[in-house]
Structure 1
Amino acid sequence: VMCDQTMCIPGERLCSSEQYQAGRGTYVRHGSVFATLAGRVERRKESGDNLLLIHVQSVHSQQLVPEIGAIVICKITQLSSSYAKCKILSVRGSYLNTSFRGMIRKEDVRSTNRDKVEIYKSFRPGDVVVAKVLSLGDASCYLLSTAENELGVVIALSENGDAMIPLSHDQMQCPKSLIKENRKVARPQSDYLSF
């Protein structure tokens, strides 16, 4: 769990080594943790450790870019009868500094009965979706797929703003109003949801 993010320069004292364990981009000297590079200071709790871990992410580190076959987490922004447009937020479990645009075409929503897919019965604007990058598409967006059972909608809100509960591979339900809505629901996979 992230608890702080600030900027630092090389040689800057970050904290006491009694409070934090030195991680990537840091070193310990005379009971203090110092930065070895310029970047963003990140403090997080590591499972099983008593001390928080502190590390520095370089300001010069390369931007993560979606590549073919990568699992991404995206948010649906717009629907048409033949595709859903989305904003890619995470690649392989790592948040992006800048988002990329993606598109899930009607024929890439599921692997069976592709000709019967209706986009508005699969996604809604605001849905959070786990998808796979099919191709780099054109210069404006990546082509994505949810055609595997593990891919699809993982978070959806009802019209009231309540988090919906998956009922089956194609339906979710509002826990308060009990209204059911159609979605292309992802089978839960903790590997894809570490964001």
Structure 2
Amino acid sequence: MVMEVEEEEVIVTPGEILGKTTTFVPGRGAYAAPNKTIHASLCGRRSIISASPNSPDQKPTIEVTGHKAHGPIPEPGSIVLARVTKVMPKMASADIMCVGIRPKSVKEKFTGIIRQQDVRATEIDKVDMHLSFRPGDIVKALVLSLGDARAYYLSTAKNELGVVSAESLAGATMVPISLTELQCPLTGQIEQRKVATKAGEKQLTTGNQSST
């Protein structure tokens, strides 16, 4: 029978080291890093649960249980919607607004970072961050991991990930005309972006419903 063996209540925060994979198995609210350490992916109570007698791996599971009032929490593998706040030569920072394929708004502030190598899958060395994103853009991204300074590393490398909403200088919602271009419907001006396709196009193509 699986049972919790935590002796005292321990509250942890995102990124905090919980243990090593040589000792524990990461459970809910926890993930394993490449260096074999296990980290918390959300704020909450740490729990250590013993393995069941018939489990092939007798290591206990370590997990973090958050509070429902905290709302959804970004975790590695999550799809998020984030608003770009700053674009730099090697990365862009963004505030995560929603989590999940059916987006649910977050209730805490979570920061995401899109590094140059995570913008697209090909010709990574030719990526120009300023031609991929601009402040105010809404991007759909995949959470890769919890990186430095408790900011999540995000990826837009898949075709369906990238900018899903952007405003032109004229104040209009821009529409996609290619995988790398958006156009202002008022002025006709074209701007470069890393555009999300498929589901992303549906959010971008307001006023362009007749196109397929």
User: TM over 0.5: same fold?
Assistant: yes
The answer as to whether partners of 2:70 and 2:107 remain within 8 angstroms in 1 is no
CA distance in 2, matches of 1:96, 1:134: 18
Which 5+ residue runs of structure 2 have no aligned equivalent? 1-66, 204-212
Q: Per the alignment, do residues 110 and 60 of structure 1 end up closer, same or farther by CA in structure 2, a change over 3 Å counting?
A: closer
Question: Does the residue aligned with 1:186 lie in a helix, a strand or coil?
Answer: coil
Give TM-score, length-normalised by structure 1. Answer: 0.65
In the alignment, structure 1 residue 160 sits paired with structure 2 residue 170:
yes
1:72 to 80, 84, 90: 80
Deviations 1:139-184 (A, max 9, x none): 3310000000000000001111110000111000000110000000
Structure 1 runs not aligned, ≥5 long: 1-58
Report the equivalent of 1:83.
Answer: 91
In structure 2, what is the Cα distance between the partners aligned to 1:150 and 1:101?
Answer: 21
Counterpart mapping for 1:15-164 below 5 A: 61-92=69-100, 93-164=103-174
Query: Which one-letter code corresponds to 1:69 in the other structure?
Result: G
Alpha-carbon distance between aligned partners in 1 of 2:112 and 2:156, rounded to the nearest angstrom = 12
Query: Could you tell me how far apart the structure 1 residues matched to 2:85 and 2:157 are?
Result: 19
1:34-60 Cα offsets, whole Å, 9 max, x none, are xxxxxxxxxxxxxxxxxxxxxxxxx95
**Equivalent residue, structure 1, for 2:58:** none
Instruction: Say if 1:62 and 1:176 are closer, same or farther in 2 by CA, change over 3 A.
Output: closer
Which residue identity lines up with residue 108 of structure 2 in the other structure? T
Question: What do residues 104-138 of structure 1 show as CA deviations (whole Å, max 9, x unaligned)?
Answer: 00110000000000000000000000000011102
Q: Which has the higher strand share?
A: 1
Preserved contact between residue 176 and residue 182 of structure 2 (Cα < 8 Å): yes
Query: Take 1:79 and 1:159, find their aligned partners in 2: how far apart are those partners?
Result: 17
Deviation at 1:189, TM superposition (A): 1.4
Deviation per residue, 1:84-118 (Å, 9 max, x gap): 00000001011011230000001100000000000
CA separation in 2, counterparts of 1:63 and 1:130?
Answer: 19
Rounded Cα–Cα distance in structure 2 between residues aligned with 1:172 and 1:159 = 12
- Letter of the 2:185 partner, please give it: P
Taking every aligned residue pair, what percent have the same amino acid on both sides? 45
How many Å apart are 1:63 and its aligned residue?
Answer: 3.1
So what's the TM-score if we normalise by structure 2?
0.60
Provide the residue aligned with 2:209 in structure 1.
Answer: none
Aligned to 2:45: none
| Number of residue pairs aligned between Structure 1 and Structure 2 | 134
Q: Which amino acid aligns with 2:156?
A: T
In 2, Cα distance between equivalents of 1:182 and 1:140: 30
Stretch deviating more after TM superposition (108-117 or 132-141): 132-141
